[in-house]
Amino acid sequence: MAIDVDSVRADTPGCANVLHLNNAGASLPPAIVLERVKAHLDLEAEIGGYEAADRTEDEYERVYASVARMLGCAPQEIALVESATRAWDAAFYALAEGFQPGDKILTAANEYVSNYLAFLQVARQRGIEIVVVPGEENGEISLPALQAAIAQHDHRVKLIALTHVPTNGGLVQPAAAVGRIARAREIPFLLDACQSAGQMPLNVDELGCDMLSATGRKYLRAPRGTGFLYVRQALLEKLEPSFLDMRSATWTARDSYEIRKDARRFETWESSLACRLGLGVAVEYAMAVDLAKIAERIAMLAEQLREQLARIPGVTVRDLPGKANQIRCGIVTFTRERHAAQTIFERMRDRQINVRVTAVGSTRLDMEQRGLTEMVRASVHYYNTEEELARFSQAVAAM
């Protein structure tokens, strides 16, 4: 059975107000997510914040179980944090503690800006080198080039870091194939799944990643200010967090402490419980809708949108030419002759259509390679309709 679009739209209050094509920025949450957040804030106001936490302790534990079930891992391998960036940073900077001058990080040309900034900082501080593995013509990381880079640098390769779905187009990186290579060579593999979580099924064993970071607010439809990190059990105790607090460690005697053994070693004590309970509801909702069906519908809608936009004179859809049967995801990027991306964004905003401008600084290596400075990003979700896509395309054509 296909997704019941009328019913998921009825669950989503925002659908009545806006034509939302900024799902790669932040999706519209289902009402039950919103209600869960509000109810917890009410409870905190009514009985006290700590007391509200005591009352919802079991439900809070189940948030870990929900995220773990979605990823196919154990709840002990999940840390809940405030953003995907903090999740990614927690893993990366912990690993970086062991980097020596001359060590290499292997990554791809469309790695996310914040990740790349962290590479640059650690390169400067520790004398390591960032190796950008060349891409295929369709933008996918080249697996032979990855193998060759590993062979060339051998034991100096200390990390493979990949963005599963880069923020600036429909590309889905062959993460599982990268994972197999990483595992065969026993190189830690950090996967940024920020745009793929909630958009497609994810299984950490199939992906072969040792660490995975994601956000709540994008395709998962959870509140802003939520994110999570997965760290494989075998790696957990080898990764010492860069920061400690009373959540991540215990002060056992005057001069000693013990770091937690589970992934919560990467958490801090304070957090927005309301938002995290909302995250749990959003994850359960996504699994109930069915992530395989979600992926299929998003890919179908996005392909339709690409075709419609490509027919508009002056519009260029900015995905690289794909291979036969290549599946692209919900992120559709385009430019239009004589129209700045910002102008298109503003015109759409005036019509209650939400799109976004993606600028060179978000994925600098890829955008510079392709001579692009900015694009319009229209990212579809399963609750969008074919009628909405037609309305959006007509609005772009009418400019």
Residues at the interface with ligand PLP (CB under 6 A): 83-85, 112, 114, 163, 167, 192, 194-195, 215, 227
Give 3-state DSSP helix, strand, coil % of the chain, rounded to 5: 45, 20, 35
Cβ 168 to ligand PLP shortest distance, Å: 9
DSSP class of 329: -
Q: Least distance from C-beta 23 to ligand PLP, angstroms? A: 11
Between CA 382 and CA 61 the distance in angstroms is: 29
Q: Which is nearer to ligand PLP, 146 or 194 (CB)?
A: 194
How near is the Cβ of 197 to ligand PLP at its closest, in Å? 10
Q: Per-residue DSSP letters for 304-318? A: HHHHHHHTSTTEEE-
Nearer Cβ to ligand PLP, position 215 or 384? 215
| 104: enclosing H helix or E strand | strand 104-108
Alpha carbon distance 207, 188 (integer Å): 13
Indicate the residue among 166 and 179 with the shorter CB distance to ligand PLP.
Answer: 166
Provide the Cα torsion 93, 94, 98, 99; round to 10°: -20
Q: Closest approach of Cβ 163 to ligand PLP, in Å? A: 5
SS3 of 237, please?
A: coil
Q: Which H or E element spans position 109? A: none
Q: Exposed/middle/buried for 253, CB within 10 Å: 0-12, 13-18, 19+?
A: exposed
Nearest CB to ligand PLP, comparing residues 48 and 361: 361
**Shortest distance (Å) from residue 194 CB to ligand PLP:** 3
Q: CA 100 to CA 122: how far, in whole Å?
A: 10
12 or 22: whose CB is closer to ligand PLP? 22
Q: Nearest distance from residue 76's CB to ligand PLP, in Å?
A: 23
Q: Which is nearer to ligand PLP, 86 or 158 (CB)?
A: 86
